[in-house]
Structure 1
Amino acid sequence: MLSASQETGEPVRTLPQRGDVLVGKYRVDRVIGDGGMCIVYAAEHLQLEDWVAIKVLRTEWVDRPEVVERFLREGKTATRIRSEHVVRTFDVGTLDDGTPCLVMEYLVGSDLDALLTANGPLPVPAAVDYLLQAGEAIGEAHQLGIVHRDLKPANLFLTHRADGSPWIKVLDFGISKLAPRALALTGRDLALTGTHSIMGSPRYMSPEQMRSSMEVDHRADIWALGVILHELIAGQPPFDGETMPEICANILQSPAPPLTTLCPDVLPDMEAVVLRCLEKDPAKRFQNLGELAAALREFGTPAGRASAHRIMGIFQSGATMYGRTSGQMPESGPAWGSTDPTWRPGPRKRRSLVRTVGIALGSTAIVACGAITAMFALRHATPTSTSAAPAPSPVLSWEAQVAPSAPPTLTSAPTPSASIEPPPAASETASAASASASASASADAKKSKHGSAKARGAAAPTGASVPSSDSLQTPPRGSATAAPTSSESLFEERK
């Protein structure tokens, strides 16, 4: 905030006071955190009537560009980590005098440093659970190429979920180191972290971090987590001293004290995990948080084991999240848009791919079998009639047998009307045949007989109605008035 100097009358920067409205919409209520570089206020959103935490850079640091850059980096870094165990950053703004500020999630609870001061050491299962919850956030940060570099109990905040279960939130990524592979900020990183500068809290810094803050990698965070775990169980850090040089000398030269000397009831396996985190040679420590989580999972509660499995899943997937840089959307494909040519899908991704292909092939086979079965059934299906059809005539000629049949009808043959005259008697037909004496008449009669046979062979199919014809001298098929041909008539026709 700006106010006029009483001596010179020039405007000077002042810290916000209770009742001040920041960024045009947040009304300050009280101070909830005070550090060497920042002050944190509880404020109320005027429109939403919800509480937020506003972190403001102290006035004496505002004129130092590298400090301002590091302060703003905290907000950018936190938004890239999607874990629920990272405090959310909602907005980045500036006050009226140009002082930068971060609008963050408002948390109810206390940090682990205050908890240790108030209650003393924690039971081993609780300490392991808290560390593994923090490890979920740190593990994701490491996969993004982010090294926190300032892990300590004061930056692990204990709050509670709606069901009352404890929930750890990781705070303060202000001095986090961004790996060159993750962000093309090599020059800016060198400017923000000089070779001889000491960044972090001395009691939780690894030996290599004390020598050069610029050269550290994710194993420096594993060291810090080992120090935190030791302190949560024993009530004091493994390396301490009256002055900062003494603390640094102990970290660089003295071996890590066994945990069982302070807590005799701690299992040797638990002590071995802490001692491995505190190896002075980074190559002898756990090489990633997945290994540390696998070693700790048996010492926590079921909730802690679930956190351990989630951490292990991050590193067992074989994917890296490098490439999710500021201002870039994650690309589709492997490893959040990784450009690493050596990337290969991990075991879980391979199993998922095989399962997906198997399901697709199985579904295709089922559909194909169903289609083939349906086609076979349609091809071999026999049409049925709902009414009884008369038997086919036994005197069909060869032409009639091979001729295509008309489609069957579902109606029975109509009964001939009583007005239809009966066909001529068989005796009259025989007399007419014998009266023809000439050769030409006999030939005509034979042609007529052959034509009648063909006509009878080409009769309508079953169920069809055929009208009476005097030229054929046969009754309609299915007629109730048709009389059988006598043997005498057949004899005359054969003559």
Structure 2
Amino acid sequence: MHYVEQIGRYRLERRLGSGAFGTVWLAHDDELEAPVAVKVLADNWAHRMDIRERFLSEARLLRRAGSNRVVQVYDIGELPDGRPYFVMEYADAGTFADLLAAGPLPVPEVLRLTALAARGAAALHEAGIVHRDIKPTNVLLRTAPDGTARVLLADLGLAKSLAHASGLTLAAGSAGYQPPEQAQPGSGIDERADVYSLGALGYELATGTVPGAPGQVVRPDRLRPDLSPEVQRALLRALEPDRERRWPTARAFAAELERLAAEAAPVHKPRGRHRGVALMAGLFVVVAVGAGVAVLNLPSSSGSSVLTVKDSTGRVVVEVPGAWGRQLRDSGWDPHSIGLTAGQEPGLAVADDLAKWPDLSADVNGVFVGLSEHGSVATRVDGIAHSGCHYDGSRAYSSATWRGTIRTWSDCSGGTGTLSETALRLVGGAAQPQVYVQIRQHSGDATARILRSLRVT
């Protein structure tokens, strides 16, 4: 589209993505003081009335769904050149595709996330809509006020009314997620087509691999041996080529996944990603600790009130309570873990027991500090949520050197400690460097003291 800075009352900030028929922008509603997503029909399709109607149909179907499990539409309008647009809620925490990019998920988290997507599909089906294109890029995550993440279905560009689905004559869907009936024009579809796609979604979340063609799907336990026979059966039943043998409804599939998740071990490490990654507990393990990175056992500091530690480059220096300084990883981090430019940047982690860090319910005291010379750390960190923890709120922080917002969680899976994190920017307006800090503490609050001690050269 031709570049514009304003659409109606919505001030455009950046492009989120483009599809075959439109572009989605992150915008700001200055009246409501809230971020929104604005989807605009591409100018090269403006003359096609059938494409225009399909574009508007998506907005109408999203509105008709009327569920908090489906992206909500707030407004609709036209640009001065006549192209339509519609305004939706902004999913700040990315997509399931981003979760997959961050690496394998724990099996209970796979079950929980797939079940939430299936609940979203069930909401569409109850509204008389079949999605026809459920896949990781079309399942979004939005941070809720309590710091958890909502799972939302989006992109109803291929969606149809169930009342008319039996007469569809065109193939639709994406390879690996497309049930056989959608690849055969004229065969008619119902909600079980979405059940197949949901099975493919769960399969990829579990194995990291898109399933093969219908009837040629590799057993998931061959790709991930820790899958139980019950989980495998649930996924493969959804992926049955014969729809009569699939789960009869998305709701039934969701119920089975929820049952299996409840029987599994508690999840202490839900994973997330960047671009406002949610569901990301134990972030330290993701961004700071690489495979094979040595833990340096520091000399006993129990007699010292404060210990000064620094990373291997000497650029990052921070002071921590002496009792925390037992183990150090000083080899840096990769900011790509939260959605910034990939690379090795200075960083460190120091704690009384780094092995306990992945478990948010464990009693551990420590600090992770990661430096970034590129991009907005604050934008990424503000989108992180920690599933299973209670969000205690945020407070502003400023010192002679740094400013930022401290966000805090507690009661993580029944644990008694707290987790605080902040993205720091230099006072005075310099864009770089920026620093991400995560602090775990079992008792007391040393957050401000630690932040005041931070030095970056």
- TM-score normalized by structure 2? 0.55
Aligned with 1:135 (options 113, 118, 125): 118
1:290 paired residue number: 251
| Deviation of the 1:58 alpha carbon | 1.1
1:164 aligns with 2:137: no
Q: Is the 8 A contact 1:33 1:39 kept in 2?
A: yes
Counterparts of 1:56-455 in structure 2, within 5 Å, are 56-117=40-101, 119-180=102-163, 195=169, 197-212=170-185, 215-239=188-212, 250-251=213-214, 254-301=215-262
Displacement of 1:129 in angstroms is 1.2
In the alignment, the residues of structure 2 paired with residue 272 and residue 47 of structure 1 have an alpha-carbon distance, to the nearest angstrom, of: 50
Instruction: Please point out which of 8, 17, 21 is paired with 2:6.
Output: 21
Which amino acid in structure 1 is aligned with residue 124 of structure 2?
A
CA distance in 1, matches of 2:188, 2:83: 31
Q: CA deviation at 1:80?
A: 1.8
Q: C-alpha displacement at 1:70, in angstroms?
A: 1.4
Q: Is the 8 A contact 2:91 2:143 kept in 1?
A: no
Return 5+ residue gaps in structure 2 as ranges: 267-457
1:297 and 1:304 in contact (8 A); partners too: no
Deviation at 1:291, TM superposition (A): 2.1
Q: Which has the higher contact order (CA 8 A, sep 6+)?
A: 2
Aligned residues of 1:124 and 1:299 also touching (Cα < 8 A) = no
| One-letter amino acid matched to 1:133 | L
Distance 1:304 1:150 in 2: 32
**Is 2:23 aligned against 1:31?**
no
Between the aligned partners of 1:93 and 1:280, the Cα distance in structure 2 is 41
SS of residue matched to 1:102: strand
Q: Distance in 1 between matches of 2:186 and 2:33?
A: 42
Secondary structure of the equivalent of 1:103? strand
Looking at CA atoms only, which structure, 1 or 2, has the larger radius of gyration?
Answer: 1
Please give the alpha-carbon distance, in whole angstroms, between the structure 2 residues aligned to 1:265 and 1:297. Answer: 18
CA–CA separation in structure 1 for the residues paired with 2:93 and 2:255 = 29
| AA of the residue aligned to 1:225 | L
Query: By how many angstroms is 1:178 displaced?
Result: 0.4
Residues 35 and 258 (structure 1), Cα distance of their counterparts in 2 relative to 1, 3 Å cut: same
Tell me, in whole angstroms, the C-alpha distance in 2 between the residues paired with 1:79 and 1:262.
39
Structure 1 residues 129 and 268: alpha-carbon distance in aligned structure 2, compared to 1, 3 A threshold: same
d(CA) in 2 for partners of 1:200 and 1:121?
25
Partners of 1:302 and 1:103 in 2: CA distance: 40
Q: Paired residue for 2:31?
A: 47
CA contact (8 A) 2:181 2:187 kept: no
Aligned equivalents of 1:206, 1:281: Cα separation in 2: 9
Aligned letter for 2:193? A
The separation in 2 between residues aligned to 1:302 and 1:275, in whole angstroms, is 19
Q: 1:259 to 1:179 in 2, by over 3 A?
A: same
The whole-number CA distance in structure 2 between the counterparts of 1:96 and 1:303 is 55
Partner residue of 2:447?
none
Aligned-pair CA distance for 1:302:
9.1
Contact 2:116 2:254 in 1 (8 A): no
User: Hey, what's the Cα distance between the residues in 2 that align with 1:304 and 1:277?
Assistant: 23
Question: SS of 1:72's equivalent?
Answer: helix
User: Can you list the C-alpha shifts for 1:293-326, whole angstroms capped at 9, x where unaligned?
Assistant: 2322222259999xxxxxxxxxxxxxxxxxxxxx
Number of aligned residue pairs: 266
Task: Give 1:362's aligned residue.
Answer: none
Is the partner of 1:132 in helix, strand or coil? helix
Preserved CA contact (<8 Å) 1:55 1:102: yes
Q: Secondary structure at the match of 1:31?
A: strand
Pair 1:303–1:290, CA change in 2 (3 A): farther
Shift of 1:164: 1.7
Residues 113/236 of structure 1: CA separation in 2 closer, same or farther (3 Å cut): same
Give the Cα separation in 2 of the matches to 1:166 and 1:43.
21
Which one has the bigger strand percentage? 2
> Which digits, 9 at most, give the CA deviation of each residue in 1:101-130, with x for residues without a partner?
11111221110112212x122111111111
Greater than 4 Å deviation, 4+ residue runs = 301-305
Q: Is the 8 A contact 1:31 1:41 kept in 2?
A: yes
Q: Is the 8 A contact 2:69 2:123 kept in 1?
A: no
Check the 8 A contact 1:203/1:237 in 2, yes or no.
yes
Structure 1 residue 172 displacement after superposition: 0.8
Distance (Å, rounded) in 2 between the aligned partners of 1:287 and 1:304 = 28
Deviation of the 1:16 alpha carbon: 3.2
- What runs of 5+ residues in structure 1 fail to find an aligned partner? 1-13, 240-249, 306-495
Between Structure 1 and Structure 2, the one with more helix by share is 1
TM-score, length of structure 1 as denominator length: 0.51
RMSD (CA atoms): 2.4
